[in-house]
């Protein structure tokens, strides 16, 4: 994936038009051409390297693929199959297990059900698969339908701010426009799972149009669409999302859950592939690939070049405009400070395993900070993360300690499936790529397993960069190489790779680029009377928090 950053300049004196451009680490690491000066700038993101006299620069990054779910190469037969099916059957009556009725927790429940649907489909448990799909369909259809007089489970388009707000809202998603990508990413990802089995439901003429509005609200991929700002929460130069809607803290803007931001990007890839919308798919790939690189530097510092010398942690919980912090808005527990950048664990989060050595280092750091030998909270999230670095240990720990309470978006079925299969698959192999976005390669003791998923209604042949080819029938996920397996029964959609008809733009005034906050909390389209408005500092946040203390 190549990204070109272009500068438009106006010569105020003389005739020079070139720039002095300072590149962030996630840019200069992947610089396609040009040689930075030996001098560097110090910044909250590490060393900035400088190019001079340029009108543009280009970066080149590798997209390594995503999966709807890791393949059932090790738990589709034998005693482990029985263990998995028992876990799945226990979820049939309530696949979402939703803990609250607002937009965020509805999304978490949808994400939980989507994981169960994917795993049940892979392993032939049609009863649990259909129960999970039914729960997803029912909740999404409810939220996407707004008859006259309905006041809950609705989305409202606010023309003043050019935004789509869901009610009941949560964590400032309405009054401060916080976290829309966090909340809506779960809806879009669940819709992508449903679309594989019910493409008619996902059509633009039915509920696909509403999914498209959620995508455009958080990160509008269409520059010509005046209803929503272009890439609203994605910092194009910074390379990652921001979470606060107002972004006016003393420390600037912030984001803690980089992994929930990646959940949104992965959702766009999955939805675009499921519906044939290449514009959405490619927007997802751009944000996913760019943000994965930024996370490795600014949240994880996997190369030990970003955090200040003497910083006592291997990961930060939050990134701010002026730096970063080992903290969250909701907990001082190290397992949650570090774990908030791991969840939800899905087949779209394989980037977390691109550096297996770092996985083990970060896991040990969490245990040290917690003063424990096993995760004391969010145990499932940490076992799933550990599996990306040492699948055998994660599986052994799960077998010895499976009585923990699952994180709210998790299930024992998903945790067991994830660690059991990664123990067989090994590490993510970033040295091999493919020509399908729904693909990945794993390596275990030098032996590779090639995996690809086909969610269209026609058979496909996937080509890997080392010359391997993999024929993937319609609706199937196939693994080949060190592990041989095939499963899944989706009916498929998204054929032809075309872009569906865009959702019609509503008539009336589009979003306004300039609004004026007033001291009473209102906003005006033109300047009002002089007054003051109080905003919290980075250390004293008021209503911008996302989660209650758990």
Which candidate, 487, 389, 478, places its Cα nearest to that of 438? 478
- Give the integer Cα–Cα distance in Å for 461 and 469: 7
Number of other CB atoms surrounding residue 9 within 10 Å: 10
Query: Across 24-121, where does the E strand assignment appear?
Result: 40-41, 48-54, 56-60
The helix/strand/coil state of 424 is helix
Catalytic residue, chosen from 75, 102, 121, 179, is 179
Structure token digits, residue 496: 């032809």
With 0-12 / 13-18 / 19 or more C-beta atoms within 10 angstroms meaning exposed / middle / buried, residue 282 is middle
Question: What are the angstrom distances between the C-alpha of 304 and each of 62, 149, 295, 400?
Answer: 21, 56, 13, 34
- Give the integer Cα–Cα distance in Å for 370 and 377: 10
205 is catalytic: no
The helix/strand/coil state of 524 is strand
- What torsion do the CA atoms of 307, 309, 315, 316 make, to the nearest 10 degrees? -60
DSSP tally for the chain: helices H, then strands E:
13, 21
Work out the widest C-alpha separation in the chain, in whole angstroms: 77
101 is catalytic: no
- Give the integer Cα–Cα distance in Å for 216 and 278: 15
For residues 283 and 229, the answer to whether their CB atoms sit within 8 Å is no
The helix/strand/coil state of 233 is coil
Catalytic residue, chosen from 69, 91, 256, 301, is 256
Which candidate, 465, 468, 503, places its Cα nearest to that of 482? 468
Catalytic residue, chosen from 260, 380, 384, 408, is 260
- Give the integer Cα–Cα distance in Å for 158 and 227: 9
Q: Which residue has the tokens 């590798």?
A: 62
Overall residue count recorded for the chain in this entry: 550
Query: Across 39-148, where does the E strand assignment appear?
Result: 40-41, 48-54, 56-60
Structure token digits, residue 460: 């496909």
Q: Which residue has the tokens 């700002």?
A: 229
For residues 275 and 208, the answer to whether their CB atoms sit within 8 Å is yes
The order of strands in the sheet holding 40-41 is 19-23, 48-54, 40-41
179 is catalytic: yes
Question: What are the angstrom distances between the C-alpha of 25 and each of 31, 47, 53, 210?
Answer: 10, 7, 20, 37
Question: Active-site positions?
Answer: 179, 256, 260
């Amino acid at each position: 994936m190549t990204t070109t950053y272009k500068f438009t300049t106006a010569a105020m004196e003389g005739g020079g038009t070139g720039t002095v451009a300072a590149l962030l680490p996630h840019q200069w690491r992947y610089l396609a051409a040009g040689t930075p000066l030996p001098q560097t700038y110090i910044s909250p993101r590490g060393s900035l390297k400088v190019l001079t006299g340029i009108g543009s620069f280009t970066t080149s990054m590798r997209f390594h693929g995503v999966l709807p779910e890791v393949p059932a190469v090790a738990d589709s037969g034998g005693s482990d199959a029985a263990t998995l099916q028992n876990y799945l059957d226990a979820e049939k009556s309530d696949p979402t297990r939703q803990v609250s009725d607002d937009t965020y927790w509805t999304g978490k429940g949808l994400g939980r059900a989507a994981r169960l649907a994917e795993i049940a489909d892979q392993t032939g448990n049609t009863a649990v698969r259909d129960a999970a799909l039914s729960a997803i369909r029912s909740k999404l259809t409810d939220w996407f339908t707004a008859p006259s007089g309905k006041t809950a489970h609705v989305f409202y388009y606010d023309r003043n701010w050019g935004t789509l707000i869901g009610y009941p809202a949560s964590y400032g998603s309405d009054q401060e426009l916080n976290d829309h990508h966090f909340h809506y990413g779960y809806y879009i990802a669940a819709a992508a799972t449903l679309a594989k089995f019910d493409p008619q439901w996902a059509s633009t003429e039915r509920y696909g149009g509403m999914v498209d509005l959620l995508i455009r609200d958080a990160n509008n991929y269409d520059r010509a669409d005046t209803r929503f700002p272009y890439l609203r929460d994605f910092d194009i130069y910074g390379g990652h999302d921001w979470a606060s809607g107002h972004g006016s803290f003393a420390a600037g803007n912030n984001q803690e859950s980089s992994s929930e931001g990646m959940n949104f990007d992965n959702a766009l890839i999955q939805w675009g592939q499921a519906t044939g919308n290449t514009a959405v798919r490619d927007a997802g790939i751009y944000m996913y690939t760019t943000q994965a690189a930024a996370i490795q530097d600014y949240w994880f510092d996997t190369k030990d070049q970003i955090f200040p010398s003497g910083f006592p942690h291997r990961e930060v919980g939050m990134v701010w405009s002026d730096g970063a912090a080992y903290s969250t808005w909701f907990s001082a527990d190290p397992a949650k400070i570090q774990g908030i950048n791991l969840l939800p664990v899905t087949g779209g989060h394989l980037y977390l395993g691109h550096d297996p050595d770092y996985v083990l280092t970060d896991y040990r750091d969490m245990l040290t900070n917690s003063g424990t030998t096993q995760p004391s909270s969010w145990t499932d999230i940490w076992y799933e993360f550990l599996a990306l670095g040492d699948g055998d240990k994660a599986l052994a720990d799960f077998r010895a300690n499976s009585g923990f309470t699952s994180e709210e978006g998790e299930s024992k079925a998903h945790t067991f499936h994830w660690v059991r299969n990664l123990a067989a698959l090994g590490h993510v192999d970033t040295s091999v790529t493919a020509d399908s976005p729904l693909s990945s390669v794993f390596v275990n003791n030098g032996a590779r397993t090639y995996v690809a998923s086909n969610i269209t209604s026609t058979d496909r042949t996937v080509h890997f960069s080392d010359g391997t080819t993999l024929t993937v029938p319609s609706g199937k996920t196939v693994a080949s190489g060190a592990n041989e397996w095939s499963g899944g029964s989706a009916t498929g959609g998204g054929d032809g790779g075309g872009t569906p008809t865009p959702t019609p733009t509503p008539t009336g005034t589009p979003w306004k680029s300039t609004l004026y906050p007033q001291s009473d909390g209102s906003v005006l389209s033109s300047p009002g009377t002089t007054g003051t408005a109080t905003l919290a500092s980075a250390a004293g946040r008021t209503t911008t928090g996302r989660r209650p203390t758990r």
